Amino acid sequence: MLCMMGMVSGMVLAQEFDARGDSIKEQSMPQIEILTQRDRILSKVPGSVAVIDFKSIRKIAPVHGNELFRKIPGLNVVDEEGAGLRLNIGIRGLDPDRSRNVLVLEDGIPVALNPYGEPELYFTPPIDKMTTVEVLKGSGQILFGPQTTGGVVNLISANPPEKESSTLRLKAGTGGFVSTYASYGNKIDKIGFLVSYLNKRADKIGPTRFNLHDIAAKMSIALSEKAKIGIKLGLYDELSNSTYIGLTQTMYDKGGQDYLRMAPNDLLPVRRYHFSATHQYKLSSQWQWHNTLFGYTTTRNWRRQDFSTIAAAANRTGIVWGDPTVPGGALYMLKTNGHRNRQFDVAAIESQLKWRTEKQLLQVGLRLLAERANEQFLIGSKPDAVGGNLRDVEQRKGRAVSLYVHDKIAITKKLEINVGLRVENFDYSRNILRGRFMVNGATTIADTNVVASNKLMAVIPGWGFNYGLDEGVTLFGGIHRGFAPPRIKDAITSEGIALDIAQEDSWNSELGIRALLGNVVRAEFTFFSMEFKNQIIPVSQSSGNANATGLANGGETGHFGIEAGASFDLAKQMKKSFSLVFAANATWIDSRFSANRFIVTGTNKVNVKNNQLPYAPSLMVNNSIEFESAKGAGIRLSGNFVGKQFADELNTVAASADGRNGLLSSRYITDLSAFARLPKKQILFSFAVKNLTNERYIASRRPQGIRVGIDRQVVLGMEVKW
């Protein structure tokens, strides 16, 4: 689906724009590509794709990436802390928790903690330094992996420029929000480089305060006419008061407490170091060899205060939130806290051969990946304790081998076929060194050395096509197997028992038509289906199911739907020098349990077959109107509608007293932005109002109570280039 439908006008190209709107020529980096420059024109892509270019990003003036993703058809974005620090995306009815079903990349490199064994997004690349966003949902995603169920999201940062260039971007808004981005790049002889620094902070966006620093460097080295090397280094450092605790239903109904800091000592530091090196060698006019080496380490030590829903709980601080007169309607804060200290390491090497002719592109690749997670849990004796008694220690390891082949063949001038095959082999283990065990009917903390391991292999085929019906009109479609490995912590218990948790397995198909009629009309209609043999239901705390019993196998589910949208530039139709674009897109999804699945509630056993999946709204709509003068000043008004959602598999409508279950009502959020540049100057100004009507709504009931959507926010911005 074209992101332009409801978002942007003009061609979508992955390049940066200066304040006059003119393109700045970048050096080509030998990095992993999701879409080539040719693909971004979208006339030859055998599936649904969205591309948001830098010019469009500047017009929207996002505070965080969630604002962009929720405008793309098929994506349900659930806000967690209101600042977009942790991305929760559900594609086409899949569970959005921690974006586990989405392969998220930065410049073609995975960013999940451990891509196979723990694919959570506790780190999300800041949108402030990105020039392009790509979302691929079709059969082409089998080129990447390991997740091929929902889609691929690729965030692209600026490449080194062809000549000396500096950039300074400033944003400031309500809640003490400030974003400062600065970069400098140049090309000296055959070496191009770009260094950048981002500081982003806020005192109070909703209940959240944060301060993050992002330092990155890119280098492109031309070894010869045939060989080129690309190097990227980065450091991300974040400190926030992110928490799991949310409002009870009684607190939300009473009002006036939407952004209360209920656990003020909760603290989440995230630090990430990453490195990648790419080598590209042109063997001949037809053959090209591409090698990538990457590695990163992420440390995530989360301190969270303990609380109880039971009034008689021991060790209470005396602080009570909610209404104690309502059963389950109050939270009792405790004097202890928990330290969830975790470090994740990833290293991989990938080699790919490309054979290109006028009518064919063949890609064959091999990737070796190793990942490791070290985890400790400490119990602190007071809410702000910086350490505590050691309760759990464990290490998880994984080794993966991926082999893939993908062939794109032009059968005729109008018909192009894509066929591919990916093989994933994953060996994993869990080593429990200290934990909780049942001894004589009582829980005991003890040192141990329990090791359990398992392995799996998956064959992932895919096929797609596009056919030119007429000039500017293309029919496309495809089918591929969706695959995702089980989380190691779900597949192997804390007692070292390897459970029968199957890999996530589905067949995904789509059929659509797109029309690109000059620069005036863009339209696309896509029918899609995803039929899961087994969809894994998260049992982590972040999903709100930490105390769920039984296995994580969710069984068979079916996802069927339609994505449709169009954009129309009235001014260009009238051959005016300005631009006036009307756009809209809509997604209708039916996501349900398609086989018997029983859930025990008290003394009852309920079959949830035909129930709607949690956090899978049936209808999502985006619409916008945008005016831009010939001199580059403009205004944009957009709206985002998300239909009602259920918070649990039982499709509970009535809200529970603790706020964790119940219907999430539909909402419509309006954003307004304006932009202008100084004549003959490389200075751009922007003004944006988020949630213009100040709509109050429940964004999520996960993981431990209600998260209220962010209220009206005003943001001013300025960009200077020289």
How many residues are recorded in the chain? 722
Q: Which amino acid is at 340?
A: R
* pLDDT given at position 48: 83
Domain membership flag for residue 19: no
What is the greatest pairwise CA distance in the chain?
A: 83
Q: Is residue 538 part of a domain?
A: yes
> Which of 669, 709, 71, 148 lies closest to 421 in space, CA to CA?
148
Residue 408 dihedral angles phi and psi, to the nearest 5°: -115, 120
Task: For 81-107, write each residue's pLDDT tens digit.
Answer: 889 999 999 999 999 999 988 999 999
3-state secondary structure of 572: helix
Q: Classify residue 453 as exposed, middle or buried by CB count within 10 Å of its CB (0-12, 13-18, 19+).
A: middle
Spatial distance between the Cα atoms of 470 and 592, rounded to a whole number of angstroms: 37
Domain that holds residue 495: 39-422+443-460+473-721
Exposed/middle/buried for 77, CB within 10 Å: 0-12, 13-18, 19+?
buried
User: Does a cis peptide bond (omega within 30 degrees of 0) precede residue 110?
Assistant: no
Give the C-alpha separation, 67 to 689, whole Å: 12
Tracing tokens 């980065």 back to the chain, one arrives at 234
Tell me whether residue 256 is in a domain: yes
Q: Within a domain: residue 562?
A: yes
Query: Is 21 a domain residue?
Result: no
Residue 489: both structure tokens together? 């912590």
- Cα gap 426→501, rounded to integer Å: 14
Residues of the chain with pLDDT under 50: 1-23, 547-551
Residue 30 lies in a domain: no
Among the listed residues 696, 703, 701, 710, the one whose alpha carbon sits nearest the alpha carbon of residue 659: 701
First to last CA, the chain: 36
Task: Supply 653's token pair.
Answer: 């409508």
The answer to whether 563 and 528 are in contact (CB under 8 A) is: yes
Q: Is residue 695 part of a domain?
A: yes
Q: Which amino acid is at 131?
A: T
Please say whether the dihedral angle defined by the alpha carbons of residues 504, 585, 618 and 85, taken in this order, is positive or negative.
positive
Query: What CATH code is carried by the domain that includes residue 504?
Result: 2.40.170.20
Q: Which residue do the tokens 């990095």 mark?
A: 31
- How far from 467 is each of 413, 414, 518, 632, CA to CA, in Å? 9, 5, 18, 37
Question: Which pLDDT score is estimated for 15?
Answer: 38
Residue among 277, 304, 302, 300 nearest 290 (CA) = 277
What element of type H or E holds 66?
helix 66-69
Domains identified in the chain, total number: 1
CA distance 103 to 120: 10
| 3-class state of residue 117 by DSSP | coil
Edge-to-edge strand ranges of the sheet holding 130-136:
49-52, 130-136, 151-157, 102-106, 109-110
Torsion of CA 59, 201, 234, 353, to 10 degrees: -40
CA distance to 426, 481, 488, 504, 507, per residue, from 484 (Å): 11, 10, 12, 5, 12
Please report whether residue 604 resides in a domain. Answer: yes
Report the amino acid identity of residue 665: S
Distance CA 132, CA 130 (A): 6
Query: Rounded to whole angstroms, how far apart are CA atoms 494 and 391?
Result: 12
**432 forms bridges with which residues in the sheet?**
394, 450
Dihedral, 143, 147, 150, 155 alpha carbons, nearest 10 = -70
